[in-house]
């Protein structure tokens, strides 16, 4: 009889011990995060199409150095208008970029009418020689003949700033918002060390300021994720959801220079 | 004595060597054919043989491209001319020429249709998202060689907002569809096909991969990396392979042309957008999360005839499987896929 009781006690102890183990196992797995970027700030409804966001593992403390760099370098961002303005591009070229919210001439096809724009006209002339007088190829494959600074200089500048800001921080994911719902969807996020509520700390930021209607926006947000999907809307105020939100007025292009 | 013997044998050995060397070269050329992966070929830079563009591009392609075999200097800079004959026939030459006769030696069409390919392309989608936005594809240039897959040219009106449509347009012909490997150790719930076949796709159902260099060269002809002269910038040598025309689909019922599906590609294709090499993807490019943003809302009482059925598809199928283990999930899948165990990803998203 004591033996039976001992066996029963051992079995119960094993079961009790196993329960937390099962619960712990159930909390690990894969998570997804859908970031909604369609927010209104100061009366401006932000339309953030094709903007990049980064997700890092760890809480705010673990990403303190990254956060410092994001904040410190936010002021170095040069707007599209400002960049091209200081490159001395024609008004027509800048207008062409603005027309479809383009950052570079890779943005859309150059039409026949666009060939009147001085920068495209010069490139087209060179392209015609290279492409043996084939006007259609010369027009469509025109970008190689646009001078490098005004072709991919703005992209390179942003990429350089991004490299500086990220430093040695390796993002778990880098996702762009889509062009219809303006959401950024992170998937396959490993939840390996959840707390007792099943949550694990991550760190979300766009790192490089996002330009929209004359202002630049930078978010730095701690986010807690669990197995399954989490929806997260960007905050509209600094301090909301423990996020840092930096809003900067961007310089305007005027007389070949940039002014605040 | 040994010196005399050596002197006598020396001409014999040298003579045999002279005869043997060309025979070896010829033997390799004939039995294996030309291979880029042969070690001597692999050691050369692409430009050692290939000129970019070749002089025939205006007529062969319509855009600057490698549209012809390399010249004789590329072959005979290394191979002896005597190596071209086997049994009196110039078989070596038939790698490039369709016929060898005095006074004429027409080239085969380059690239040779049906010949095994030796290169894959690596396209980093992640990098390209930053640059592209609204470029439209043009379909009036001849296809080139390396990228063979073809879904269909896009509805160009709707492609305007999608950078993906620069390369991925609607298909004109319905491609052959195959079932990708079923992962996660899932088992079939029934062995026999239940008759739930693939949907009958119409034009616009699938999307195309870019064909040839035309799309790439629009931006990469020169200037930015990788330029058109840097083949290795995009292509990697592989063992010879015959590309399949079949495309792999888990959900053969998703119609890209359907009005409700005309959205930004990035809304659903989220996994590939984070990828540097689509071939390295271990899971479907479109995660189920993208589907349930519209499908799978909790209308469990809907039946198949109900207009709201599509919203409850995921739930209904899972519940149906729970009731009847042999039920085939048919809303999204053909029976090749729909008769497998329901994966954890689906169950996790059931409302």
The pLDDT of residue B14 is above 80:
no
The pLDDT of residue B244 is above 50:
yes
Q: Is any Cβ of chain A less than 8 angstroms from the Cβ of B56? A: no
Share above pLDDT 70 across residues of chain A, in percent, rounded to a whole number: 89
The mean-pLDDT minimum among A13-17, B100-104, B156-160 falls in B156-160
In the three-class reduction of DSSP (H, G, I as helix; E, B as strand; rest coil), residue B54 is classed as coil
DSSP calls for A121-188: HHHHHHHHHHTTT-HHHHHHT-GGGS-HHHHTHHHHHHHHHHHHHHTT---SEEEEPPSSS-EEEEEE
Per-residue confidence (pLDDT) for residue A127, from 0 to 100: 95
C-alpha A37/C-alpha B120 separation (Å) is: 37
Per-residue confidence (pLDDT) for residue A11, from 0 to 100: 58
Please compute Rg for chain B using Cα positions.
27
In this structure, the strands spanning A52-57 and A173-176 are antiparallel
* Nearest chain A alpha carbon to B288: A187
DSSP calls for B107-161: BPPSSPTTPPEEEEE---HHHHTTT-SSPPP---S---SS---------HHHHTT
Residue with tokens 């970019």: B52
Mean pLDDT of A150-179: 93
The mean-pLDDT minimum among A193-207, A216-230, B121-135 falls in B121-135
Residue B156's pLDDT band, with cuts at 50, 70 and 90, is: very low
Residue B297's pLDDT band, with cuts at 50, 70 and 90, is: low
* Nearest chain A alpha carbon to B214: A141
Sign of CA dihedral B143, B149, B153, B159: negative
Interface test with B, best of A26, A32, A50, A106 (most B CBs within 10 A): A106
Residue B248, phi then psi, degrees to nearest 5: -95, 130
Mean pLDDT of A206-223: 95
In the structure encoding, which two tokens stand for residue A247, read together?
Answer: 């809003």
The mean-pLDDT minimum among A187-196, B130-139, B270-279 falls in B130-139
* Nearest chain A alpha carbon to B263: A180
C-alpha B283/C-alpha B265 separation (Å) is: 17
Q: Are B332 and B255 in contact (CB under 8 A)?
A: no
Residue B330's pLDDT band, with cuts at 50, 70 and 90, is: confident
Of A83-87, B272-276, B345-349, where does the model show the most confidence?
A: A83-87
C-alpha B257/C-alpha B50 separation (Å) is: 41
Non-local CB neighbours of A22 within 8 Å, separated by 6+ positions:
none
Q: Is any Cβ of chain A less than 8 angstroms from the Cβ of B232? A: no
The pLDDT of residue B179 is above 90:
no
Q: Do B223 and A229 touch (CB under 8 A)?
A: no
Interface test with B, best of A52, A123, A136, A144 (most B CBs within 10 A): A144
C-alpha B25/C-alpha B128 separation (Å) is: 44
Which residues does chain A have within 8 Å of residue B130's beta carbon, measured at their own beta carbons?
A: 52, 155, 159, 176
Average pLDDT over chain B reads 75
Residue A6, phi then psi, degrees to nearest 5: -65, -45
Per-residue confidence (pLDDT) for residue B309, from 0 to 100: 61
Overall pTM surpassing 0.90 (yes/no):
no
Per-residue confidence (pLDDT) for residue B23, from 0 to 100: 45
Residue with tokens 């010196």: B3
Give tens-digit pLDDT for B39-86: 888 898 999 999 999 999 999 988 999 999 998 888 888 888 777 777
Q: Is any Cβ of chain A less than 8 angstroms from the Cβ of B68? A: no
Which of A101, A106, A187 has the CB atom closest to B289's CB atom? A187
DSSP secondary structure code for residue B226 in this structure: S
- Tell which wins on pLDDT, A133 or A11: A133
Q: Do A155 and B130 touch (CB under 8 A)?
A: yes
Per-residue confidence (pLDDT) for residue B198, from 0 to 100: 53
The pLDDT of residue B136 is above 50:
no
Per-residue confidence (pLDDT) for residue B177, from 0 to 100: 82
Q: Which residues face A183 on adjacent strands?
A: A36
Give tens-digit pLDDT for A72-131: 999 999 999 999 999 999 999 999 998 877 888 988 889 999 999 999 999 999 999 999
Per-residue confidence (pLDDT) for residue B317, from 0 to 100: 84
Q: Are A184 and A53 in contact (CB under 8 A)?
A: yes
Mean pLDDT of B266-282: 82
Per-residue confidence (pLDDT) for residue B311, from 0 to 100: 60
Give ipTM to 2 decimals.
0.77
Q: Which residues face A32 on adjacent strands?
A: A229
Residues of chain A whose C-beta is under 8 A from some C-beta in B?
A: 32, 34, 50, 52, 100-104, 106-109, 130-132, 134, 137, 140-141, 143-145, 148, 151-152, 155, 159, 173-181, 183, 185, 187-188, 227-229
Per-residue confidence (pLDDT) for residue B20, from 0 to 100: 46
In the structure encoding, which two tokens stand for residue B219, read together?
Answer: 């931006």
Per-residue confidence (pLDDT) for residue B146, from 0 to 100: 30
Which of A32, A50, A101 has the CB atom closest to B129's CB atom? A50
In the structure encoding, which two tokens stand for residue A35, read together?
Answer: 């970031």
Residue B343's pLDDT band, with cuts at 50, 70 and 90, is: confident
In the three-class reduction of DSSP (H, G, I as helix; E, B as strand; rest coil), residue A75 is classed as helix
Sign of CA dihedral B117, B122, B125, B127: negative
Q: Count how many Cα atoms sit within 13 Å of the Cα of residue B239 in the half-sphere of its side chain.
A: 0
Per-residue confidence (pLDDT) for residue A128, from 0 to 100: 95
C-alpha B26/C-alpha B24 separation (Å) is: 5
The mean-pLDDT minimum among A4-8, A21-25, A46-50, B106-110 falls in A21-25
Residue B336 class from Cβ within 10 Å (0-12 exposed, 13-18 middle, 19+ buried)? Answer: buried
The pLDDT of residue B160 is above 90:
no
Residue A174, phi then psi, degrees to nearest 5: -135, 115
H-helix or E-strand containing B46? helix B46-49
Q: How many CB pairs under 8 A join A and B?
A: 109
Residue B193's pLDDT band, with cuts at 50, 70 and 90, is: low
Which of A100, A176, A185 has the CB atom closest to B129's CB atom? A176
In this structure, the strands spanning A52-57 and A257-259 are unpaired
Which of A101, A155, A187 has the CB atom closest to B131's CB atom? A155
Per-residue confidence (pLDDT) for residue B150, from 0 to 100: 26
Residue B254's pLDDT band, with cuts at 50, 70 and 90, is: confident
C-alpha B295/C-alpha A184 separation (Å) is: 19
Q: Which residues face B207 on adjacent strands?
A: B170
DSSP calls for B63-101: SS---S---HHHHHTTS-GGGG-BTTB-GGGGGTBS--B
Mean pLDDT of B240-268: 84
In the structure encoding, which two tokens stand for residue B184, read together?
Answer: 């996660």
The mean-pLDDT minimum among A169-178, B195-204, B249-258, B333-342 falls in B195-204
Residue A34's pLDDT band, with cuts at 50, 70 and 90, is: very high
Q: Do A108 and B129 touch (CB under 8 A)?
A: no
Share above pLDDT 90 across residues of chain A, in percent, rounded to a whole number: 70
Mean pLDDT of B1-23: 57
Q: Count how many Cα atoms sit within 13 Å of the Cα of residue A241 in the half-sphere of its side chain.
A: 16
Which residues does chain B have within 8 Å of residue A103's beta carbon, measured at their own beta carbons?
A: 133
Of A36-40, B200-204, B255-259, B263-267, where does the model show the most confidence?
A: A36-40
- Cis bond before residue B327 (omega within 30° of 0): no
Neighbour count for residue B213 (Cβ, 10 Å) = 27
Average pLDDT over chain A reads 89
């Amino acid at each position: 009889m004591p033996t039976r009781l001992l066996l029963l006690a051992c079995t119960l102890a094993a079961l009790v011990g196993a329960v937390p183990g099962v619960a712990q196992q159930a909390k690990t797995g894969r998570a997804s995060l859908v970031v909604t970027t369609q927010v209104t700030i100061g009366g401006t409804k932000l339309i953030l199409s094709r903007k990049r966001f980064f997700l890092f593992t760890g809480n705010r403390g673990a990403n303190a150095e990254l956060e410092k760099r994001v904040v410190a370098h936010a002021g170095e961002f040069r707007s599209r208008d400002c960049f091209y303005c200081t490159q001395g591009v024609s008004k027509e070229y800048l207008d062409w970029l603005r027309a479809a919210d383009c950052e570079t001439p890779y943005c859309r096809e150059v039409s026949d009418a666009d060939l009147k724009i001085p920068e495209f006209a010069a490139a087209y002339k060179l392209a015609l020689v290279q492409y043996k007088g084939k006007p259609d190829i010369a027009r469509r494959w025109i970008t190689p003949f646009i001078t490098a600074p005004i072709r991919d200089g703005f992209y390179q500048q942003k990429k350089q700033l991004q490299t500086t800001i990220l430093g040695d921080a390796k993002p778990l994911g880098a996702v762009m918002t889509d062009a219809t719902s303006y959401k950024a969807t992170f998937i396959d996020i490993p939840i390996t060390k959840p707390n007792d509520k099943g949550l694990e700390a991550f760190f979300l930021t766009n790192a490089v300021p996002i330009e929209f209607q004359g202002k630049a926006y930078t978010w730095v947000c701690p986010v807690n994720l669990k197995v399954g999907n989490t929806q997260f809307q960007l905050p509209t105020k600094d301090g909301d959801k423990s996020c840092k939100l930096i809003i900067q007025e961007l310089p305007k292009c005027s007389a070949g220079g940039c002014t605040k | 004595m040994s010196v005399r013997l050596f002197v006598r044998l020396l001409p014999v050995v040298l003579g045999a060597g002279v005869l043997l060397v060309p025979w070896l070269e010829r033997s390799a050329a004939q039995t294996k054919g030309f291979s880029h992966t042969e070690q001597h070929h692999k050691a050369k830079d692409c430009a050692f043989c290939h000129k970019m563009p070749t002089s025939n591009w205006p007529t062969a392609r319509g855009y600057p491209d490698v549209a012809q075999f390399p010249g004789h200097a590329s072959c005979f800079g290394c191979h002896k001319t005597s190596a071209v004959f086997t049994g009196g026939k110039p078989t070596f030459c038939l790698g490039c020429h369709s016929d060898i006769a005095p006074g004429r030696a027409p080239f085969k069409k380059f690239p040779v249709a049906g010949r095994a390919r030796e290169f894959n392309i690596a396209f980093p989608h992640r990098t390209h998202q930053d640059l592209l936005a609204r470029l439209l594809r043009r379909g009036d240039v001849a296809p080139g060689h390396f990228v063979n897959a073809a879904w269909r040219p896009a509805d160009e009106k709707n492609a305007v907002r999608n950078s993906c449509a620069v390369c991925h347009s609607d298909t004109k012909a319905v491609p052959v569809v195959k079932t990708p490997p079923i992962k996660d150790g899932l088992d079939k719930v029934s062995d026999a096909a239940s008759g739930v076949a693939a949907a009958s796709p119409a034009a616009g159902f699938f999307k195309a991969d870019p064909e040839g260099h035309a799309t790439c060269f629009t931006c990469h002809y020169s200037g930015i990396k990788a330029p058109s002269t840097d083949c290795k910038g995009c292509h990697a040598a592989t063992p010879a392979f015959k590309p399949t025309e079949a495309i792999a689909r888990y959900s053969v019922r998703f119609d890209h042309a359907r009005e409700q599906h005309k959205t930004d590609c990035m809304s659903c294709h989220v996994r590939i957008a984070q990828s540097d090499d689509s071939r390295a993807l271990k899971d479907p490019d479109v995660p189920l999360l993208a589907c349930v943003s519209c499908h799978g809302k909790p209308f469990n009482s809907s039946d198949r005839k109900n207009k709201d059925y599509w919203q409850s598809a995921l739930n209904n199928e899972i519940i149906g499987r729970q009731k009847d283990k042999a039920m085939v999930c048919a809303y999204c899948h053909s029976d090749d896929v729909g008769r497998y165990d329901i994966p954890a990803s689906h169950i996790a998203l059931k409302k």
